[in-house]
Each structure stands twice: as structure tokens, then as C-alpha cells.
Amino acid sequence: MTTRTIILNGGSSSGKSGIARCLQAVLPDPWLAFGIDDLIRAMPASMRTSDAGIEFAPDGGVLVGPEFRALEAAWVEGVAATARAGARVVVDEVFLGGAASQQRWRKALDGLPVLWVGVRCDGAVAAGRELARGDRVTGMAVSQADIVHEGVFYDLEVDTTRAEAMECARTIAARLG
């Protein structure tokens, strides 16, 4: 059974969504790219600043509440169902809960072959890119750089500290076979 699901996990500004777009360009079949940012955009505006929802602290910390978790769980089921229905899907994720976050995806994707990819980036470099982007709360890149990988299992890891998004995409595509 061919792998039709790729999960990219990495901290903010590590370059995940750029890799996802490059994958869409280099892979011969059409792939859908979803990401945690899509979920946040789909939520009520009020949840983006509430204790029960998601809060972006001025120092870059991200706090997630129970209502966020509930909607997130349903969204994960939806992405899994899209994959089960036959679409090729690449997901751009931030495992704030490390191994526990991965476990949620494993359960939802049970039975489907998945390529788990760690997207590493040196925290200081990611922090510079965060400033260069200009659309993120400063501090997220550094605070997430390491914790999102804690206890997570990968089939493959790429590091954008020195490698371009396109190189990483080619490495991933080669592994996909």
C-alpha cells in the first residue's frame, strides 16, 4: 500500500509549510496540504484570545485550552477521513504536546501508511526567520524549536537550518519512493 499521508512536525518558522508547497510541486500526483494554521483560522475569532481556546502570549508562548483541544480532535479526524477517502495529504503540524500529540494522530490515522517527518531548525535561525516573515508573535520560534520533537518518532528528519525547503522536499519525496 502506497504512502499517501505525510506528517511534517516542527516548531513555528521552521519552514514546514514551504516544504509542503515544494512537495506539492515535485510530487507527480496532486497532494492536498493542510496545517494547524488552517484549524486556527477556522475557529471563532474569540477563541484566539481566550483561556478555553488558544492564547498567544507576548513572549511567544502558546497556551491551549479544552475547547481548542476538542475542536482540534475533530479536525484531526477530518483530515484522516480525507486521507481515507483517497486523497494524498501532507499535514504541517506543531506537536506542542510532543509524543502525546503524535499519539493523537497515530490513532486517527490507524491502518494508513504514514511518513512521519521531523522538521528541525536551529532556534536562533528560526527566530531570525520569524522576524523576517513579520507576521508571527516574536518568541514562538525559539520556544517551540525543541519541545515539539520531544519523544516523537520519525521515519525521516530534515533540517532547514542550512538546507533549502526544496532540498528537504526532494529528500522526503525520494523516501516516499
In order, the DSSP letters of 37-73 are HHHHHHS-GGGGGSSSSEEE-TTS-EEE-HHHHHHHH
Q: Which is nearer to its own copies, 129 or 175 (CB)?
A: 129
Q: Which is nearer to its own copies, 34 or 116 (CB)?
A: 34
φ, ψ for residue 5, nearest 5 deg: -130, 125
Q: Is 37 a catalytic residue?
A: yes
| Helix spans in the chain (H) | 16-26, 36-42, 66-84, 99-108, 123-133, 140-144, 165-176
CB of 168 to its own copies, least distance (A): 10
Q: Which is nearer to its own copies, 89 or 148 (CB)?
A: 89
CB of 28 to its own copies, least distance (A): 11
Angle of helix 66-84 relative to helix 99-108, nearest 10 degrees, comes to: 40
Which candidate in 29, 37, 59, 122 is catalytic?
A: 37
Q: Which is nearer to its own copies, 81 or 174 (CB)?
A: 81
CB of 5 to its own copies, least distance (A): 12
In terms of Cα–Cα distance, which of 39, 34, 12 is closest to 24? Answer: 34
| Helix spans in 109-149 (H) | 123-133, 140-144
32 has which bridge partners?
89
CB of 151 to its own copies, least distance (A): 25
* Binding site residues, its own copies, CB under 8 A: 15, 17-19, 21-22, 24-25, 30-34, 38-39, 42-47, 49, 53, 58, 67, 70-71, 73-75, 77-87, 125, 128-129, 131-134, 138, 164-167
Catalytic center residues: 37
